[in-house]
């Protein structure tokens, strides 16, 4: 009984590791920082525009931030 639950944990850990490696492979380079710290310039401009003008009026800044995140290695 105890051994079956430790096998389940191993499967979950392996699946998580596989998912992480597949994400890195799909996006090319592995991100060098956390998503919250990537692209601060485009993030700041996007967020300010959304607050002041609404999301529907900031599509260019939103797409620019998404592209910056992709260039940094994130799968967005």
Is 58 annotated as contributing to ligand binding? no
With beta carbons less than 8 A apart as the criterion, state whether 50 and 9 touch.
no
C-alpha 29/C-alpha 73 separation (Å) is 5
Is 36 annotated as contributing to ligand binding? yes
Nearest C-alpha neighbor of 45 from the set 24, 63, 32, 70: 63
Q: Which residues are annotated as a binding site?
A: 36-37
Q: Which residues are annotated as a binding site for Cu cation?
A: 36-37
């Amino acid at each position: 009984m105890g051994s079956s639950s430790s096998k389940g944990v191993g499967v979950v850990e392996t699946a998580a590791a596989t998912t992480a490696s597949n994400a890195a492979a799909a996006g090319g380079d592995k991100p060098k920082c956390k998503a919250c710290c990537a692209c601060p310039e485009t993030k700041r401009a996007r967020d300010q525009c959304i607050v002041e003008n609404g999301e529907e009026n900031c599509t260019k800044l939103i797409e620019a931030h998404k592209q910056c995140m992709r260039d940094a290695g994130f799968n967005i």
